[in-house]
């Protein structure tokens, strides 16, 4: 039996054509049924939700979430941890995310893969898959990762990564540490292979792109820079039209001018907002422990005692605000960078990332300051 018809009305709706204040969104069975005029007769028989003129944006999709709500995925890769992290990020409009495991042991990696599979099977709202950031990374660009755990993939790793499971699998690796044939095998199995924490040169990165690398983890950070005679990883990323680039727009990881250079260099749709969020997001506690080091969030910056950045205290609503206020982007483009573009990166564009008929009813409700008032996931409302 079909669920009751819901009508989200009196909102400024972010459609494919931009904001519309003269339509309502009809939702049934967790999906958008139609966008209709305010006087459509179907509204009279629907459960009406008056949004009071608020902004209704497609729900945000974050492909890099290490933690939130005081929880770190690495500490306990369980369904319960995933429930807590997802709930923390829902408060900031994130309706879909990839829990991200930072470099760890092989047993921890397998536990994380199993936990995400179980969470999706159980229907934990917002879990779209997993992002494994490591352990196939370069010591020279390790950042906060524990280089003693870095290694090259073995047969067991490849079996675990390519096994049939629920949700998207994204893997950050250093191209110089993984054979191009392995990259091709992973990509052919559907793994979203991305480059990051890498000291590769341009030629090696270009070969990895040809083999199946589809994007770059937190562009500019932990990778070889663009210079005059050696374009490096950054140059390869900006030169390649097909790949996506994750951008941490928090005002700390990358200078706003460098972010604008990337956005202007890449074709439309290829720059994606990410948070690289850590446990302080959605928590009153500013500190956490990673690899035995105490990390503290101060003024929005997460770092250890030596001043090394360790993820961020950024949420997706904050990333959208910064894209508008720091980078000068139109709200419609900032919204796409947080929704439809990451959906395309994950291969989920048929079901996620837009407010359009047939899409999942995943929305973020924001006020004029771009603060989140609530979110909807598959037609279920969650207050902020």
Write down the pLDDT at residue 58: 98
* Closest by CA position to 61, among listed 187, 136, 170: 170
Confidence of residue 292 (pLDDT cuts 50, 70, 90): confident
Q: With pLDDT > 70 as the criterion, what percentage of the chain qualifies?
A: 99
Q: What is the mean pLDDT of residues 279-283?
A: 94
Average pLDDT of the chain is 96
Q: Could you give the strand order of the β-sheet that contains 6-9, starting from the edge strand earlier in sequence?
A: 31-37, 23-28, 6-9, 47-50
21-50 tens-digit pLDDT: 999 999 999 999 999 998 898 888 899 999
Q: What is the mean pLDDT of residues 264-289?
A: 95
> Is 333 labelled as part of a ligand binding site?
no
Helices (H), 273-382: 316-325, 331-337, 340-345
Catalytic residues: 276
> Is 252 labelled as part of a ligand binding site?
no
CA pair distance 86, 93, nearest whole angstrom: 11
- Residues 374, 377, 381, 383, Cα dihedral to 10°: -30
> Is 207 labelled as part of a ligand binding site?
no
> Would the pLDDT of 286 be above 80?
yes
Whole-model pTM: value is 0.97
> Is 19 labelled as part of a ligand binding site?
no
112-163 tens-digit pLDDT: 999 999 999 999 999 999 999 999 999 999 988 999 999 999 999 999 999 9
Confidence of residue 1 (pLDDT cuts 50, 70, 90): low
Within 13 A of 172's CA, how many CA atoms are on the CB side? 33
Q: Domains in the chain, ordered, with CATH? A: 6-57+356-383 (2.30.40.10), 59-345 (3.20.20.140)
The H or E element containing residue 349 is none
CA pair distance 71, 69, nearest whole angstrom: 5
Nearest 5°: CA angle at 344, between 161 and 248?
85
| 8 Å CB contact between 118 and 79 | yes
207-250 tens-digit pLDDT: 999 999 999 999 999 999 999 999 999 999 999 999 999 999 99
153-199 tens-digit pLDDT: 999 999 999 999 999 999 999 999 999 999 999 999 999 999 999 99
> Is 218 labelled as part of a ligand binding site?
yes
| 8 Å CB contact between 249 and 259 | yes
Write down the pLDDT at residue 293: 86
Confidence of residue 62 (pLDDT cuts 50, 70, 90): very high
């Amino acid at each position: 039996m079909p669920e009751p018809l819901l009508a989200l009305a009196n909102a400024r709706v972010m459609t494919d054509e931009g904001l519309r204040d003269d339509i309502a969104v009809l939702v049934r069975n967790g999906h958008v049924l139609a966008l209709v005029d305010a006087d459509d007769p179907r509204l009279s028989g629907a459960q009406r939700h008056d949004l009071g003129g608020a902004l209704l944006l497609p729900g945000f999709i974050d492909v890099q979430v290490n933690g939130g709500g005081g929880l770190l995925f690495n500490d306990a890769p369980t369904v319960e941890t995933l429930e807590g992290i997802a709930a923390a990020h829902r408060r900031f409009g994130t309706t879909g995310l990839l829990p991200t495991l930072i470099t760890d042991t092989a047993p921890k990696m397998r536990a994380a893969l199993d936990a995400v599979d179980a969470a999706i099977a159980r229907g934990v709202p917002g879990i779209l898959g997993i992002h494994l950031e490591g352990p196939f990374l370069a010591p020279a660009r390790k950042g906060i990762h524990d280089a003693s755990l870095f290694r090259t993939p073995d047969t067991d790793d490849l079996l675990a990564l390519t096994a049939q499971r629920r949700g998207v699998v994204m893997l950050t690796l250093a191209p110089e540490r993984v054979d191009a044939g392995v990259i091709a095998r992973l990509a052919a199995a559907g793994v979203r292979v991305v480059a990051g924490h890498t000291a590769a040169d341009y030629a090696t990165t270009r070969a990895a792109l040809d083999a199946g690398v589809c994007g770059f983890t937190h562009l500019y950070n932990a990778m070889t820079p663009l210079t005059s005679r050696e374009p490096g990883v950054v140059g390869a990323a900006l030169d390649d039209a097909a790949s996506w680039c994750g951008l941490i727009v928090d005002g700390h990881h990358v200078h706003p001018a460098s972010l604008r250079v990337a956005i202007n260099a890449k074709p439309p749709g290829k720059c994606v907002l990410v948070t690289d969020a850590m446990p302080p997001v959605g928590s009153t506690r500013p500190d956490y422990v990673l690899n035995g080091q105490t990390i503290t969030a101060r003024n929005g910056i997460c770092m250890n005692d030596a001043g090394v950045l360790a993820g961020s205290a950024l949420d997706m609503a904050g990333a959208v605000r910064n894209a508008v206020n720091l980078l000068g982007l139109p709200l419609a483009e900032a919204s796409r960078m947080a929704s439809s573009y990451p959906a395309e990166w994950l291969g989920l564009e048929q079901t996620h990332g837009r407010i359009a008929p047939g899409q999942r009813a995943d929305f973020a409700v924001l006020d004029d300051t771009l603060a989140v008032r609530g979110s909807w996931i598959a037609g279920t409302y969650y207050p902020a």
